[in-house]
A = this chain, B = another copy of it.
Amino acid sequence: MKINALQIITLVYFFIWSLSASAQQTQSIKKDNVQLKFRLDDQGSPRYSVLFKDRDVIKESQLGFSIDTDSSFYKDFHLVSVEQRQADGTWQPVWGEEKNIRNNYEELTIHLKHKNGKLLTIIFRAFADGLGFKYEFPKQSSLKYFVVKEELTEFNLAGDHTAFWIPGDFDSNEYRYTTGKLSAIDNRPVVAAATDIAVKTVPDPFAVQTPLMMKSADGLYINIHEAALLNYPAMQLHVNKTNYQLSARLVPDTYNNKAYLHAPAQTPWRTVLVSDKAADILASRTILNLNEPSKAENTSWIKPMKFVGVWWEYQTGKSTWSYSDYADSTDSKKQLIPNGRHGANTANVNRYIDFAAANGMQGVLVEGWNTGWEDWFGNWKENVFDFVTPYPDFDVNAITSYAKQKGISMIMHNETSGSATNYERQLDTAFRFMNQFGYPSVKTGYVGKIIPRGEYHDGQWMVNHYERVLQKGMQHRVTIDAHEPPRPTGLHRTYPNFMASEAGRGNEYNAFSTGSAPEHETILPFTRLMGGPMDYTPGIFKLRNYADGAPGRQMHSTLAKQLALYVTIYSPVQMVADLPENYEAKPDAFQFIKDVAVDWDDTKIIEAEPGDYITIARKEKQKPNWFIGAVTDEHSRTATVPLNFLDKNLVYIATIYRDATDANWKNNPEAYTIETFRVDASNLLKIKLAEGGGAAISIRPINMSDDLKKIRKYK
């Protein structure tokens, strides 16, 4: 399937002006309710503003740079020319939330010339749900190689909005969210409290990460992020708490340089999504649209899947990644002495393969299979893992053969412990190993301080590293699920083998720390997920008394909510994260996980309010089945789901997995009720969600000749 060929963009009109005499004239484009204005001010400084239904979203704000050869590359410009065009088209993602994605925008291109002769181009695209803009440094004689010392982009907000934020950390996105006014942002207590995060680098107390979700007092939902982060550092935002001005802060290297560029070059797109309906933010495909089309010529090897894994038993302390307890624990032949609790042993792995095969899962992930785990973390050690040497109790040949026999895809695990130089040295060898043993997919990990020392997880060098791994995956037909990378920016459009990433606070924090608040999953889709799928690892069924040696620990969720997450937290690769025995204890609830799809023809955001609730319905790819997930925060509420998206000519069976009447996340999380109804497009479902609860619904059409009458009609 050639994806690129399917994107048909219609160019409607195209202007070029020579405008040297009209520098201060305001240029403007508008798409539906979204308007962009641009002008050069009296200093020759480029400035833009954004309106939604004529209300200020971004008040006039600065654009520009400080570069190594010119610290004032933000003023003294004049306008060379302006182009305007309109585009409309539809493209089909390799996998995704919809079968078709419409890309419809007005574009304004501003060609500027600095008084010192250097050229700068700014391209704006207005969409119905927001704005994207990027800078281009054209090929030119007066600017070849240069260093971005700082990007001076600003976002002047119109008020003291409520923000859903995490600290602007160069190395981690794994914080709890804080909800509060812009004027109250101070990340220091948050950082200090985050003792569960391994590596933290937060030099600016008033910097926050993007995607930054906000809500204005008058009901506007605003989301600031970026698209197509390539060869550039991640952008974070410094908050001026008195005037609500946000300033770009790029993740630096050790020299406080931000990006080493070679013209022609460009920045990622800066995105401002806006609507008066929160659901529109979740439904936006603007970030994806601002990414380049797929580079994959053949995509038959890229397969969404559900998978189980030898993993949660490590997180909960039942078994260990490592084979011995200490690297020094060796016998007289210098062989490691086994601790007897190593999870990735052949028998246990085969047990997971059996479970996956018996329950229609496609994959099995195994962590802790390769040597080095005795001594892998916290020492800034360069050569930790070699990615090809199994522990003695992990029989890679036998496991490969057994998995093949059972039709299961094994998922490789490459933990780098942050040592990217070591991984890059081994990359060819590691990917050849995957090809040799038929591993179609790899989960990468970057837990630890980065090597090269002096670089950060989210700086330009590492951004390029992650892209190199994606490219290597394309060459070797290996899909990637990256843990601890920068938060995504829609690159899975360009690299459809980039199935998912962590880059946020996953379900695992409930295993090894005090976890996340019940509202966490109502914020994630508005923040972390804006740029791409998250490997959140939902589906925990044993919600209390799972953590070895920590009896007080519990999930901040009901069981029904764990099911709902398969729909509300989008990913084409979904882990079925709990232990097989915990699913086997509740086969009726497990049926939803067995049934739920991971790839979709359509998605409807039914209800959404950041921090409060989200209800989403999705139609299974190339099938008539629908799946609905509803989640709430710490408050009980009723999810209301009109089924008008169903085919009016069909009758369906809906299976509703909901919180039991007396369920709540804190005291009775595992109580659930399963009900089956006959439904059609005229129905309106009303489902009670417990405190910290949720609901999951599967809907499939039935043939009227079946014993339909046995099934109750809903309501």
Contact indicator per residue, chain A 237-272, by CB within 8 Å of chain B (1) or not (0): 000000000000000011101001010000000000
Known contacts A454-B255, A455-B452: does B421 contact A260 (CB below 8 Å)?
no
Contact B381 A145 (CB under 8 A): yes
Min distance, Cβ A277 to any Cβ of chain B, angstroms:
44
The CA-CA distance from A144 to B379 in the complex, in Å, is 9
The CA-CA distance from A695 to B262 in the complex, in Å, is 52
Contact B381 A260 (CB under 8 A): yes
In this assembly, does A453 line the interface, its C-beta being within 8 Å of a C-beta of chain B?
yes
**334-385 of chain A: CB within 8 A of chain B:** 379-382
Q: Collect the chain B residues with CB atoms within 8 Å of residue A468's CB.
A: 425
In this assembly, does A404 line the interface, its C-beta being within 8 Å of a C-beta of chain B?
no
Most interface-central of A427, A453, A454 (chain B CB within 10 A) = A453
Min distance, Cβ A143 to any Cβ of chain B, angstroms:
12
Q: Collect the chain B residues with CB atoms within 8 Å of residue A379's CB.
A: 144-145, 260, 262
The CA-CA distance from A425 to B468 in the complex, in Å, is 10
Q: Collect the chain B residues with CB atoms within 8 Å of residue A381's CB.
A: 145, 260, 262
In this assembly, does A424 line the interface, its C-beta being within 8 Å of a C-beta of chain B?
yes
The CA-CA distance from A313 to B420 in the complex, in Å, is 40
Q: Collect the chain B residues with CB atoms within 8 Å of residue A328's CB.
A: 139
The CA-CA distance from A424 to B429 in the complex, in Å, is 13
Min distance, Cβ A382 to any Cβ of chain B, angstroms:
8
**482-505 of chain A: CB within 8 A of chain B:** none
The CA-CA distance from A380 to B455 in the complex, in Å, is 15
Instruction: Identify which of B139, B424, B453, B464 contacts A454 (C-beta below 8 A).
Output: B453
| Chain B residue nearest to A327 in the complex (CB) | B144
Contact B253 A453 (CB under 8 A): yes
Instruction: Identify which of B425, B427, B453 contacts A461 (C-beta below 8 A).
Output: B453
Contact A254 B454 (CB under 8 A): yes
In this assembly, does A428 line the interface, its C-beta being within 8 Å of a C-beta of chain B?
yes
24 interchain pairs, CB-CB under 8 A? A144-B379, A145-B380, A145-B381, A253-B454, A254-B454, A255-B453, A255-B454, A260-B379, A260-B382, A262-B379, A382-B464, A421-B421, A421-B424, A424-B424, A424-B425, A425-B468, A452-B454, A452-B455, A452-B461, A453-B454, A453-B455, A453-B461, A454-B454, A454-B455
Instruction: Identify which of B262, B425, B455 contacts A425 (C-beta below 8 A).
Output: B425
The CA-CA distance from A427 to B424 in the complex, in Å, is 11
| Chain B residue nearest to A257 in the complex (CB) | B453
The CA-CA distance from A421 to B419 in the complex, in Å, is 12
Q: Collect the chain B residues with CB atoms within 8 Å of residue A453's CB.
A: 253-255, 257, 452, 454-455, 461
Q: Collect the chain B residues with CB atoms within 8 Å of residue A262's CB.
A: 379, 381
Binding site for B on A (CB under 8 A): 139, 144-145, 253-255, 257, 260, 262, 328, 379-382, 421, 424-425, 427-428, 452-455, 461, 464, 468
Q: Collect the chain B residues with CB atoms within 8 Å of residue A464's CB.
A: 382
Q: Collect the chain B residues with CB atoms within 8 Å of residue A144's CB.
A: 379
Min distance, Cβ A422 to any Cβ of chain B, angstroms:
10
Counting from the closest, the 4 A-B pairs by CB-CB distance are A454-B454, A452-B452, A145-B379, A254-B454
Q: Collect the chain B residues with CB atoms within 8 Å of residue A455's CB.
A: 452-454
Q: Collect the chain B residues with CB atoms within 8 Å of residue A260's CB.
A: 379-382
Q: Collect the chain B residues with CB atoms within 8 Å of residue A425's CB.
A: 424-425, 427, 468
The CA-CA distance from A468 to B380 in the complex, in Å, is 19
Instruction: Identify which of B380, B382, B428 contacts A428 (C-beta below 8 A).
Output: B428
The CA-CA distance from A468 to B422 in the complex, in Å, is 11
Q: Collect the chain B residues with CB atoms within 8 Å of residue A452's CB.
A: 421, 452-455, 461
The CA-CA distance from A425 to B422 in the complex, in Å, is 10
The CA-CA distance from A425 to B139 in the complex, in Å, is 28
The CA-CA distance from A495 to B463 in the complex, in Å, is 36
Q: Collect the chain B residues with CB atoms within 8 Å of residue A139's CB.
A: 328
Most interface-central of A424, A425, A452 (chain B CB within 10 A) = A452
Q: Collect the chain B residues with CB atoms within 8 Å of residue A424's CB.
A: 421, 424-425
Min distance, Cβ A213 to any Cβ of chain B, angstroms:
34
The CA-CA distance from A427 to B428 in the complex, in Å, is 11
| Chain B residue nearest to A425 in the complex (CB) | B424
The CA-CA distance from A468 to B260 in the complex, in Å, is 27
10 further interface pairs, Cβ-Cβ under 8 Å (given A255-B454, A425-B425): A145-B380, A254-B254, A255-B453, A260-B379, A262-B379, A262-B381, A382-B461, A421-B424, A424-B425, A452-B453
The CA-CA distance from A421 to B427 in the complex, in Å, is 13
Min distance, Cβ A170 to any Cβ of chain B, angstroms:
14
Min distance, Cβ A465 to any Cβ of chain B, angstroms:
9
Min distance, Cβ A383 to any Cβ of chain B, angstroms:
9
Min distance, Cβ A386 to any Cβ of chain B, angstroms:
14
Q: Collect the chain B residues with CB atoms within 8 Å of residue A428's CB.
A: 428
Min distance, Cβ A325 to any Cβ of chain B, angstroms:
14
The CA-CA distance from A468 to B421 in the complex, in Å, is 12
The CA-CA distance from A427 to B382 in the complex, in Å, is 18
The CA-CA distance from A714 to B421 in the complex, in Å, is 63
Min distance, Cβ A168 to any Cβ of chain B, angstroms:
22
Min distance, Cβ A152 to any Cβ of chain B, angstroms:
22
Min distance, Cβ A231 to any Cβ of chain B, angstroms:
10
The CA-CA distance from A119 to B289 in the complex, in Å, is 61
The CA-CA distance from A126 to B351 in the complex, in Å, is 62
Q: Collect the chain B residues with CB atoms within 8 Å of residue A427's CB.
A: 425
| Chain B residue nearest to A140 in the complex (CB) | B328
The CA-CA distance from A253 to B254 in the complex, in Å, is 10
Q: Collect the chain B residues with CB atoms within 8 Å of residue A257's CB.
A: 453
Min distance, Cβ A427 to any Cβ of chain B, angstroms:
8
The CA-CA distance from A382 to B464 in the complex, in Å, is 11
Q: Collect the chain B residues with CB atoms within 8 Å of residue A254's CB.
A: 254-255, 453-454
The CA-CA distance from A453 to B454 in the complex, in Å, is 7
